[in-house]
Amino acid sequence: MGSILSAEWFKLRKSKMVPLILAGPIIGLFIGLTMNSNNILAGSEINEWYISLISMNLLYALLFLPLISGVFASVICRYEHQSGGWKQLLALPVTRGKVFVAKYALIMLLVMAMQILYLCSIYVVGIMKGYSDPFPMEIVWKSILGGWLATMPLVALQLWTSIMFKSFAAPFAVNVTFTLPSILAVNSARFGPYYPWGQPFLMMNVGGDTGDVFFVPWDQLLTVVGGGFVLFFLGGYLYFQRKAV
């Protein structure tokens, strides 16, 4: 497994991944710096950091986190889709299962790196705006880790589609098609919690009950995120095992 991860990482180093990882945090930083929170904070006792966090999460978690994680999945399968790459890879003494797990693990590491950089963006916004309130470390970490956990089923689904389609554009188009309706889906109490592309926003939304783990109830975390992960991961895993190369 270690050699497979090393090989996948070597291929990613040639894929200009750094701009992709930086894109979401930079956009979040721009939103936080350009947002005018004076009217919202006037006469209120709301922690200044919360306003920036809510505003930045709205666009980052709702659109850019699902979209960029899908791009990660497409990029990590790009070399195998070119010039018979799958045949060359699977001709080596490796199992299909280990290849799938390695690709999934590497995507999740990239998403975590982007989340940590996004946390840095939140902190930079507060420093540059001169916030005097204490930094809500527990709340921010709940948002960061919650968003990362919420991408687990989504990344499994995106990796599945990236393996399925040879074209780089096809899985990206599918991802865009289902990401845009999440703006409407998250406002639905009935469908929002079960929509994979809307789960990162719900898990990062500090407007929920801060007493709950990651701002969502335990049953939703286990059934929706956990169940979605098992369903999509096993689906992609079994598809890859049977895929003709």
Q: What pLDDT, on a 0 to 100 scale, did the predictor assign at position 212?
A: 57
Q: What pLDDT, on a 0 to 100 scale, did the predictor assign at position 110?
A: 93
- C-alpha 238/C-alpha 224 separation (Å) is 21
CA-nearest of 106, 69, 49, 22 to 199 is 69
CB atoms within 10 A of CB 87: 10
Tokens of 48: 């200044």
- C-alpha 87/C-alpha 127 separation (Å) is 51
Q: Helix 137-164 to helix 48-59 angle, to the nearest 10 degrees?
A: 10
- 226, 158 contact by CB (below 8 A): no
CA 78 → CA 83, 141, 145, 207, distances in Å?
10, 33, 28, 38
- Token pair 């919360």: residue: 50
- 65, 160 contact by CB (below 8 A): no
Q: What pLDDT, on a 0 to 100 scale, did the predictor assign at position 108?
A: 95
- 18, 119 contact by CB (below 8 A): no
* Chain centroid offset of residue 111 CA: 5
**169-183 per-residue burial string, b: 16 or more CB within 10 A, e: under 16:** eebbebbeebbeebe
- 22, 171 contact by CB (below 8 A): no
- How confident is the chain (245 residues) per 10-residue block, as mean pLDDT? 74 78 91 73 67 87 92 86 78 85 93 95 90 86 91 94 86 89 83 86 74 69 89 94 80
CA-nearest of 195, 35, 13, 202 to 110 is 13
Q: What pLDDT, on a 0 to 100 scale, did the predictor assign at position 208?
A: 55
- C-alpha 196/C-alpha 161 separation (Å) is 14
